[in-house]
C-alpha cells in the first residue's frame, strides 16, 4: 500500500489486534474500517506512533488526499474532544489517516486538555 501523503510504502503494524499500517517515510498511520476508535482504547496503543520530526511534520499541511484503500477523496476531520487534532477520513471505507504524532496525542486525552477546553467553552459562553 502507498502512503496518501508522501507516496512511500506503508507496512502492516505487527502485534495489533486490528488492521493498521504505518508509512515508512512520513510515519503516518492508516487505520482500516474506523478501527482507530478501538485502537484508542487499547492500553499503550499510542506507542505505535512516532513523534513528528521536521521531515514528517512537513506533511501535516497536506490535507487533500485520496484514500489508500479505495482511492476516493478523503475528508478533513477534527476530533470533537481535542480540537487541535486534525486527520483525514474516508467516507466510503471508513479508514482514517493520522500524521506522525497525531494518533499518540489522540489516544492520550489528558486532564489538562479537558480543563483548557472547559475554560474556552466557559469564556465563549460568557462573551
Task: Render each residue's pLDDT in the chain as its tens digit; 127 residues.
Answer: 999 999 999 999 886 667 899 999 999 999 998 778 777 766 666 667 877 676 666 777 778 899 999 999 999 999 887 888 889 999 999 999 999 988 888 887 655 666 676 677 778 888 7
* Domain assignment of residue 3, yes or no: no
Q: How many domains does the chain have?
A: 1
* Domain assignment of residue 84, yes or no: yes
* Domain assignment of residue 26, yes or no: yes
* Domain assignment of residue 98, yes or no: yes
Q: Half-sphere exposure (CA, 13 Å, Cβ side) for 103?
A: 30
CA 108 to chain centre: 12
* Domain assignment of residue 32, yes or no: yes
* Domain assignment of residue 1, yes or no: no
Per the structure, the complete domain to which residue 100 belongs is given by 10-126
Residues with Cβ < 8 Å from 105, sequence gap 6 or more? 46, 82, 84, 85
Q: Distance between CA atoms of 26 and 9, rounded to whole angstroms?
A: 10
pTM over 0.75: yes
* Domain assignment of residue 4, yes or no: no
Amino acid at each position: 500500500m502507498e502512503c496518501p501523503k508522501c507516496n512511500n510504502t506503508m507496512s502492516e503494524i505487527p502485534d495489533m489486534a486490528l488492521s493498521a499500517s504505518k508509512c515508512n517515510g512520513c510515519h503516518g498511520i492508516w487505520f482500516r474500517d474506523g478501527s482507530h476508535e478501538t485502537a484508542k482504547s487499547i492500553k499503550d496503543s499510542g506507542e505505535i506512533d512516532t513523534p513528528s520530526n521536521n521531515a514528517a511534520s512537513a506533511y501535516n499541511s497536506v490535507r487533500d488526499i485520496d484514500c489508500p484503500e479505495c482511492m476516493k477523496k478523503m475528508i478533513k476531520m477534527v476530533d470533537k474532544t481535542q480540537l487541535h487534532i486534525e486527520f483525514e477520513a474516508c467516507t466510503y471505507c471508513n479508514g482514517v489517516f493520522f500524521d506522525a504524532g497525531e494518533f499518540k496525542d489522540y489516544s492520550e486525552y489528558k486532564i489538562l486538555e479537558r480543563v483548557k477546553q472547559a475554560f474556552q467553552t466557559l469564556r465563549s459562553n460568557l462573551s
